[in-house]
Amino acid sequence: MTAREVLISLIKRFEGLRLKAYLCPAGVWTVGFGSTGKDVDKNTVWTHEKATERMNKDATMYLSATKKLCPKIENEALGAIADFSYNLGATRLAGSTLRRRINEGDFYRARKELMRWVRGGGRILPGLVLRRKEEAMFI
């Protein structure tokens, strides 16, 4: 699979699709395939087409940001770490030990680091545990 295919697959599997905005466990207004931002609030309603368009745009952005932060990763591993960035933000990846391990080429310890990112709203979320395990399988 390509990096983009891995990323899109993980997004769809773990974000699901909701066309009316909702508060995620971290208290952030979210819509579509996990999209957030200044254009998403409690009144946001999207079509399937809009959600797909936004997911594709964001996927391109997170693949690019992740590659800049972790230039050594490629293919499926890039897609998996881009999913981490999509889920938590590239800023979190930028300052993380996960990034340092990836850039050191220490993928064993990078997989372990992924499992430290399983909290939302101050508690461990089973969905994030599953997501991090799935991402780790590609690294």
> In a 3-state reduction of DSSP, which class is residue 61?
helix
Q: Specify the number of domains making up the chain.
A: 1
What pLDDT, on a 0 to 100 scale, did the predictor assign at position 113?
96
Beta bridge partners of 45: 20
Neighbours of 119 (CB within 10 A): 13
Domain containing residue 16: 3-137
Q: What are the two backbone dihedrals, phi and then psi, of residue 34, each rounded to the nearest 5 degrees?
A: 80, 25
State pTM to two decimals: 0.92
- CATH number of the domain enclosing 100: 1.10.530.40
CA angle 114, 116, 118 (to 5 degrees): 90
Active-site residue set:
15
Please give the chain's pLDDT, 139 residues, in tens. Answer: 999 999 999 999 999 999 999 998 778 999 999 999 999 999 999 999 999 999 999 999 999 999 999 999 999 999 999 999 999 999 999 999 999 999 999 999 999 999 999 998 788 999 999 999 999 999 9
Q: What is the pLDDT of residue 26?
A: 79
